[in-house]
Amino acid sequence: QVQLVESGGGSVQAGGSLRLSCAASEYTWCMAWFRQAPGKEREEVARTVNGRTASYSESVKGRFTISTDNAKNTLYLQMNSLKPEDTAMYYCAAGTSSCNDQYWGQGTQVTVSS
């Protein structure tokens, strides 16, 4: 059972930056960030496989950067030029041998004010 713990959320004004972290209890091959705003469906924000590839949703491309520190089993999401529509609960998810997102963290809240 992989444990995932997110941190780094908070409140920021539009145009600001935040960096989210997701500490995993062990190495995971595929990791992703999702977000869910009240009344909206969960959205995949970014994904990385083995820390070597990165993909982003169109809504965050060019503003967010996903990265990993494999030595620390930690996933990051650098979020720049934040917009009020980025306000959501952010979750990390992981799969140990495939991108099946079988493990989830508890989430960290990001609030962007205009």
* Contact by Cβ (8 Å): 87, 79: no
C-alpha 41/C-alpha 73 separation (Å) is: 28
Structure tokens at 95: 């799969």
Structure tokens at 112: 């962007």
Ordered alpha helix ranges (H), the chain? none
Q: Residue 52: helix, strand or coil by DSSP?
A: coil
Per DSSP, what are the bridge partners of residue 44? Answer: 34
Instruction: Look at residue 97 and tell me whether its pLDDT is greater than 90.
Output: no
* Contact by Cβ (8 Å): 91, 103: no
pLDDT digits (tens, 9 = 90+) for 42-75: 999 999 998 899 999 999 999 999 999 989 999 9
Residue 14: per-residue pLDDT:
98
Lowest-pLDDT range, 8-12, 25-29, 59-63?
25-29
Mean pLDDT (whole number) for 20-40: 96
User: How many residues in total does the chain contain?
Assistant: 114
